[in-house]
Structure 1
Amino acid sequence: MTGKAKKVSQSGIVLAQNMLPPDANAAGNVHGGTIMKLIDNAAWTVASRHTGMNAVTASLDRLDFHSPVYIGNLIILRASLNRAGRTSMEIGVRVEAEDLRTGEVRHTASAYLTFVALDEDKKVVPVPELLLETEDDHRRNTEANARYEARKEALKARKKG
């Protein structure tokens, strides 16, 4: 592994951005693709903070939209590292939308992304160990390990089929 081990709290971030007319369709709903890009940017930031290197998206697991986001909403992305393997990292991103007029906050989307770190030659390199501090960190790590194993099994099945 490269670099010094880091705590979940050292890599996690909260990003917020107002949703404006260019982010939405004619009905005022923010495009799913706009939200996807923000999710990817938040996850990239976490991966880069953890490794101190450039990182790239290797996969996206489950992007579930729970409720719409509208023009004028403040979108809040909470991203944290759930798992650090030898060369890959799983980052979870929770998306919320706040109606600034009413103060109502809705959970609008969730996603899990896998990132890898790259060296100067754009080769995948080992990532720093993840230090788990809280019960929530341990729970998320356990769930992430189960998703990792499921992804490995699915990949094996696809290669056989």
Structure 2
Amino acid sequence: MNNFKTVADSQTVMTELMIPSYSNFGGKIHGGVILSLMDKVAYVCAAKHAETYCVTASIDTVDFRASVEVGEIISLLASVNYVGNSSLVVGIKVLAENVKTHAVKHTNSSYFSMVALDEETHKPVQVPGLILENETEIQRFITAMHRKELNRYYKQEGERIKADFRNQDFIEVLKKERCILKQSY
């Protein structure tokens, strides 16, 4: 299959020790440190698949499921879940392991949309297609397609609301929320 790759061809695992300088005022690992590491592993995974420079276009929610402690080792597991023409969706799962107890916890999940760029022109370039080899890979591809459709819908809805926010239906909804309208509409 010319110009197609398997998911396994670009799967990436990055492991790092969580050191005290990564901690926040509460003594836990700062979420920004985790996000930075997630961005790095997303880049590596996408670049391995695309065989070119890739940039982060968007991040589709980052779920913080459990805190990470100083001294734990985190592993970031990344795979290409979906490819478009020049874009890729990289799914990332973060696991933290306590080296003393060997307890492992799932701390974060996210989806990074990456775009492959030509290194000279900085214009988007086509990425290889994806060979789906099992039900999990098929499910992830379809789920990413649906997430893309929903994000497009949410963007359109946001634009519609922005253009028509004085609509009485919206005002009635706001009256049921914990907000005060300072102006009358």
- Same fold per superposition (TM over 0.5): yes
Q: TM-score when scaled to structure 1?
A: 0.94
Q: Which amino acid aligns with 1:46?
A: C
Q: State which drifts further: 151-160 or 48-57.
A: 151-160
Structure whose alpha-carbon radius of gyration is higher: 2
Seen in structure 2, the aligned counterparts of structure 1 residues 45 and 23 have a Cα distance that, compared at 3 Å, is: same
Partner of 1:93: 92
- 1:148 corresponding residue in structure 2: 148
SS in 2 for 1:125: coil
Distance in 2, Cα, partners of 1:148 & 1:157: 14
Give 2:139's aligned amino acid: R
Alpha-carbon separation, structure 2, partners of 1:128 and 1:101: 42
Hey, what does 1:14 align to over in structure 2?
A: 13
Q: Note if 1:127 corresponds to 2:133.
A: no
Quick check: 6-15 or 20-29, which moved more?
20-29
Equivalent in the alignment of 1:103: 102
The CA deviation string for residues 129-155 of structure 1, in whole angstroms up to 9 with x for no partner, is 111011111111111111011112222
What TM-score does the superposition give when structure 2 sets the normalisation length?
Answer: 0.82
Aligned to 2:139: 139
Do the aligned partners of residues 7 and 57 (structure 1) sit closer, same or farther apart at CA in structure 2, a change above 3 Å counting?
same
- Residue 26 of structure 1 and its aligned partner are, at CA, apart by 4.2
Q: Distance in 2 between matches of 1:124 and 1:157?
A: 27
Task: Give the secondary-structure state (helix, strand or coil) at the position aligned to 1:28.
Answer: coil
Query: Residue 9 of structure 2: SS of its match in structure 1?
Result: helix
Once the two structures are TM-superposed, the CA of residue 28 in structure 1 deviates from its matched residue by 2.6
Aligned position for 1:28: 27
In the alignment, the residues of structure 2 paired with residue 10 and residue 25 of structure 1 have an alpha-carbon distance, to the nearest angstrom, of 36
Paired letter, 1:121: T
- Partner residue of 1:64? 63
User: Which protein has the bigger strand share?
Assistant: 1
Deviations 1:70-114 (A, max 9, x none): 110000101000000112111100001000000000000100110
Q: Which residue of 1 aligns with 2:52?
A: 53
How far residue 14 of structure 1 moved from its aligned partner, in angstroms, is 1.0
The unaligned stretches of length 5 or more in structure 1 are none
Q: Distance in 1 between matches of 2:26 and 2:158?
A: 40
Give the aligned residue type for 1:82.
N
Fraction of identical pairs, as percent: 38
Partners of 1:159 and 1:130 in 2: CA distance: 33
Name the SS of the counterpart of 1:64 in structure 2.
Answer: strand
